[in-house]
């Protein structure tokens, strides 16, 4: 270990290992009254070279600190070069949607509009739920797992700030004039259709879902 005020050797051991080594090799590992450890043979050999010798233990750092260092080891031992645009995109997603999961933020930057069901949507993460707010119509909610599944299937796609609305005028007119009950019923049917597509359990008959899908097309 080279420092500005000197150089020396540091021998790191876990606290449990030192307790056992002190029994097996008491002449080499000795506990100090202050609670630390020393190694007289190591100190003597290092002193002959004008160096120091210290025995250090894992007790000097909190267990969570060591655990975090091990978890982040790949990042601080191998410098990561990230493009400025990608970095800004990630930071913007975290600023707008704190707590967004890594898969969701990597697959679909939620800071940008989304294209889903022929409309533009804004997304907001709320715990384990993704709240989707359309340009026109009722709010639609999905779990993060359901949201990710739709992204993977290509049903939800990323748009840009300047992406024009794909919603046709006739459809927009119907949505604008639809009442709350009609929008709620439409969202309920849409939820059943999505569950059917994903192979999940549905609360209606498959024929009903197929009829809704045929009418939608």
Model confidence at 182, in pLDDT bands (50, 70, 90)?
Answer: confident
- Say how far apart CA 124 and CA 141 lie, in whole Å: 10
Model confidence at 105, in pLDDT bands (50, 70, 90)?
Answer: low
Dihedral sign of CA atoms 18, 24, 30, 35 in order: positive
- Asked if residue 186 and residue 131 are part of one domain, the reply reads yes
Residue 191 structural domain: 99-216
- Asked if residue 104 and residue 34 are part of one domain, the reply reads no
Q: How far is CA 199 from the centre of its chain?
A: 26
Q: Is residue 90 part of a domain?
A: no
- Asked if residue 136 and residue 205 are part of one domain, the reply reads yes
Q: Is residue 126 part of a domain?
A: yes
- Asked if residue 105 and residue 68 are part of one domain, the reply reads no
Tell me: the pLDDT tens digits for 26-70?
A: 999 999 988 899 999 999 999 999 999 999 998 888 888 888 888
Q: Is residue 149 part of a domain?
A: yes
Dihedral sign of CA atoms 25, 27, 28, 29 in order: positive
CB 134 within 8 A of CB 119: yes
Average pLDDT over residues 21-30: 94
Q: Is residue 81 part of a domain?
A: no
pLDDT for the residue numbered 46: 94
Last residue of a domain, one of 25, 42, 75: 75
- Say how far apart CA 186 and CA 53 lie, in whole Å: 74
Phi/psi of residue 98, nearest 5 degrees? -60, 135
Q: State whether residue 215 is helix, strand or coil.
A: helix
- Asked if residue 114 and residue 22 are part of one domain, the reply reads no
**Least confident window among 20-24, 102-106, 186-190:** 102-106
Q: Is residue 89 part of a domain?
A: no
Tell me: the pLDDT tens digits for 113-148?
A: 888 888 888 888 777 788 888 888 888 888 888 888
- Asked if residue 161 and residue 111 are part of one domain, the reply reads yes
Last residue of a domain, one of 75, 91, 112: 75
What pTM did the predictor assign?
A: 0.43
Neighbours of 39 (CB within 10 A): 21
pLDDT for the residue numbered 184: 82
Q: Is residue 91 part of a domain?
A: no
Q: Is residue 93 part of a domain?
A: no
Last residue of a domain, one of 28, 43, 75: 75
Residue 79 has pLDDT above 80, yes or no: no
Mean pLDDT of the chain: 82
Q: Is residue 136 part of a domain?
A: yes
- Say how far apart CA 59 and CA 62 lie, in whole Å: 7
- Number of separate domains in the chain: 2
pLDDT for the residue numbered 109: 47
Highest mean pLDDT among 54-58, 98-102, 157-161: 54-58
Sheet of 2-3, strands arranged across: 2-3, 6-13, 52-57, 37-38, 30-31
């Amino acid at each position: 270990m080279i420092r500005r005020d000197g150089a020396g050797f540091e021998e790191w051991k876990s606290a449990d290992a030192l307790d056992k080594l002190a029994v097996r090799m008491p002449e080499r590992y000795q506990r100090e009254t202050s609670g630390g450890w020393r190694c007289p043979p190591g100190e003597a050999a290092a002193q002959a070279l004008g160096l120091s010798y210290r025995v250090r233990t894992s007790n000097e750092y909190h267990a969570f600190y060591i655990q975090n260092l091990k978890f982040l080891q790949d990042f601080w031992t191998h410098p990561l070069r990230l493009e400025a645009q990608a970095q800004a995109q990630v930071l913007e997603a975290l600023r707008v949607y704190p707590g967004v999961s890594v898969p969701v933020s990597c697959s679909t930057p939620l800071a940008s509009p989304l294209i889903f069901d022929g409309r533009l949507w804004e997304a907001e993460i709320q715990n384990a739920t993704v709240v989707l707010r359309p340009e026109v119509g009722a709010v639609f909610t999905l779990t993060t797992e359901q949201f990710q599944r739709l992204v993977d299937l290509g049903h939800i796609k990323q748009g840009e700030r300047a992406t024009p609305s794909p919603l046709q005028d006739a459809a927009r007119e119907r949505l604008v004039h639809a009442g709350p009950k009609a929008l709620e019923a439409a969202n309920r049917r849409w939820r059943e259709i999505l569950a059917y597509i994903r192979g999940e359990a549905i609360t209606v008959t498959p024929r009903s879902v197929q009829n809704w899908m045929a009418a939608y097309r």
